Amino acid sequence: MLRPKIPTDPTPAGQLAPPVVVEPTAVVPSVQGPPPAPATPAPTRPTVQLTPGTALALVGGGTAVVLVVGAVLVSMLLAVAITGASVAVCALVIRSLVHADAKRR
């Protein structure tokens, strides 16, 4: 009943076309044009100079980002821990209720 059907016809199904004969073509060299003009170099960008005030602002901004991301991650971890503890307490209460109900019968 669940055996696979194996085709008995060894030729592929579908439309069969005779093979197409490809004839080689001759390669004709073309006339060489003038070489392309060299690209003009891009103007150099001014270098970024860090002043002590800019460096202090970057350090302060990076510190703020790290503190905010850390606080968010710690709060998420705390939420998961509290949820896990409350689920464990609920499981213990339900288990004790089921056990007490089975003991009375």
Q: What type of residue is 101? A: D
Q: Which amino acid is at 74?
A: V
Q: d(Cα 34, Cα 51) in Å, to the nearest integer?
A: 50
Q: What is the DSSP letter of 90?
A: H
Q: How far apart are the first and last CA of the chain?
A: 51
Q: Which residue has the tokens 């490809």?
A: 22
What is the pTM for the complete model shown? 0.45
pLDDT at site 14: 62
15's tokens: 């439309």
Q: pLDDT band for 20, please (50, 70, 90 cuts).
A: confident
Distance CA 68, CA 74 (A): 10
Summarize pLDDT for 54-94 with one digit per residue, the tens.
Answer: 999 999 999 999 999 999 999 999 999 999 999 999 999 99
**What average pLDDT is seen over the chain?**
83
